[in-house]
Structure 1
Amino acid sequence: MTPSRPACDIEALADDAWLLRFGDTLDPALNAHVHALAARIRSRAPHWLRDLVPAFASLGVFFDPASSPDRVRVELEGIVESMEAVATTAGDRLVEIPVIYGGECGPDLESAAQELGMAAAQLAARHAAGEYTVAMIGFAPGFPYLSGLDPELALPRLATPRARVAAGSVAIGGAQTGIYPRESPGGWRILGRTPRVLFDPEQNPPTLLQPGDRVRFVAIDSAAVAQELA
């Protein structure tokens, strides 16, 4: 059966931005449509375009304040109408993220595994075995919300968030996994940590991961990290 194109509501996000909303659920098909639409708009390179901000089921479109909001909306409506239904396919770019699981780097690995009824090593292996998609960037600059978590690994957030989560912490929050790009408070279950830098304002682009990227975690040990950073 051919998938149908999702309905789109367009609402004002700011004086210089429209929000294209396709739903309010964590649906891989909707997320794929959001990324496909962002790519379509970007490829047309309209003179008024300033930025595109994809989320799980919506797309923020920021435009030149000197442009007519109504004309931008009409053009967006035309692009939306021209879109066919999008199959849920993986993105082209694959990024491998090395992770030290457990120990000081993964303070919640043992308790999370116990809660899930498995050994810590099994939880780490199953987490690393998955292939994930960057559904959106949010919460903090460079923080990737990754879809594709094995449903059997879903974990509730901590009842009391930590005041400090180390940069690079790889964690599970509900039905998603993610990576803290910098030290910050947080309530996700921390399974490990990566030495990769996810956000660097001196780089272009400043974020290592982009919406739509595929991500795989690769388990490493602390000795390998020490050698890498030497």
Structure 2
Amino acid sequence: MDTQPEPEQPTQRLFDIEATPFGDSALMLKAAAGTAEERQAGSRRLRELVFELQPHGLLDVVAGMDSVLVEFDCLAVSHGQLAQTIRLAAAGGGARTGTGRSPELFEIPVVVSEAFSPDLPGVADELGISQEAVLGILESTELSINLLASAMAPMMGSLPFPGQVSRCREPRTNVDPGSVMVAGTSAIIQPFPGPSGWKVIGRTPLTVCDIREDPATSYTPGDRVRFRVIPESEWDALEGRFLRATTSGGLTDGNR
């Protein structure tokens, strides 16, 4: 009796992991192939994997744009042993594409004014386009949060500018919270007052990080962001509200 072969079960594609020694006691992990966005997603999943795995000798994990630096006790484990442990965990299903929570969308209002956008004219001149064109690119591009920088600042990319935006020659010693800044083709939001060399082109009235909230931020790497320029007259109505994900096409930045 003839039998029909069973249909193949769909499988999820595993990441090929590139593991490079980084000094005596650190290992640089990357997704070895794929588009820039796929490598960034791979980096986020690798970070989650290492935290879940807690391999022997682990000291710290530092996330980069498309890489993860794993620091370890070189007296407890070697580069090769740690890399093999992580690769085996990934092969067992720990680092598959399509896992984790679904990305959320955040719509962030931005006020543009002389006080809130001191670097906008210079950014426009540097790129050879108008200030309106700079803001048009900002508003029309859905950005991905690639990583959380210092103080949980969401770092996003990539803006399709016609060139790279340079950093300030002299970093500011104190940038106001909520400042929307650009450098290269990336954007970032300043959560708390502090120094920065990024160029400030606007400010959001929303609070993007609040230690009284649990968790302190509503966004994680992999989430999506859209900026929306609003008139300064709307500032007071939104000031201090905690940033939350957009649902049903509307802004849902609830009160603190």
Common fold: TM-score over 0.5: yes
Q: SS of 1:225's equivalent?
A: helix
Larger RCO (CA under 8 A, 6+ residues apart)? 1
Q: Does structure 1 residue 152 correspond to structure 2 residue 162? A: yes
Q: Does structure 1 residue 119 correspond to structure 2 residue 130? A: yes
Q: How many angstroms apart in 2 are the aligned matches of 1:219 and 1:202?
A: 27
Q: SS of 1:155's equivalent?
A: coil
Give the alignment partner of residue 100 of structure 1, picking from 89, 93, 111.
111
Q: Does structure 1 residue 22 correspond to structure 2 residue 23? A: no
Q: How many angstroms apart in 2 are the aligned matches of 1:147 and 1:227?
A: 29
Matches within 5 A, 1:176-195: 176-195=186-205
The aligned amino acid for 1:131 is E
Name stretches of at least 5 consecutive residues in structure 2 with no aligned partner: 1-12, 241-256
Give the alignment partner of residue 132 of structure 1, picking from 122, 143, 159.
143
Name stretches of at least 5 consecutive residues in structure 1 with no aligned partner: none
TM-score (norm 2): 0.69
Between stretches 51-60 and 150-159, larger displacement belongs to: 51-60
Cα RMSD, aligned residues only? 3.6
- What does the per-residue CA deviation read over 1:101-131, in whole Å, with 9 as the maximum and x for residues that have no partner? 2321111112211222222122112111111
Give the alignment partner of residue 161 of structure 1, picking from 159, 165, 171.
171
Structure 1 residues 6 and 102: CA distance shift in structure 2, 3 A = farther
- How many correspondences in the alignment? 217
Q: How many angstroms apart in 2 are the aligned matches of 1:176 and 1:76?
A: 30
Answer with 1 or 2: which has the greater Rg.
2
Q: How many angstroms apart in 2 are the aligned matches of 1:14 and 1:199?
A: 36
Structure 1 residues 204 and 10: CA distance shift in structure 2, 3 A = farther
Q: Is the 8 A contact 1:41 1:79 kept in 2?
A: no
Note the C-alpha offset of 1:19.
4.6
Matches within 5 A, 1:1-230: 5-9=15-19, 19-22=27-30, 27-39=36-48, 45-46=52-53, 54-59=63-68, 75-82=85-92, 86=97, 92-138=103-149, 140-152=150-162, 154-229=164-239
Q: SS of 2:162's equivalent?
A: helix
Q: How many angstroms apart in 2 are the aligned matches of 1:115 and 1:12?
A: 36
Note the C-alpha offset of 1:208.
3.6
The aligned amino acid for 2:141 is G
Q: Is the 8 A contact 1:94 1:213 kept in 2?
A: yes
Q: How much identity, in percent, do the aligned residues show?
A: 24
- What does the per-residue CA deviation read over 1:60-101, in whole Å, with 9 as the maximum and x for residues that have no partner? 5699x9xx86897654231233467859xxx62111111112
Q: How many angstroms apart in 1 are the aligned matches of 2:201 and 2:169?
A: 17
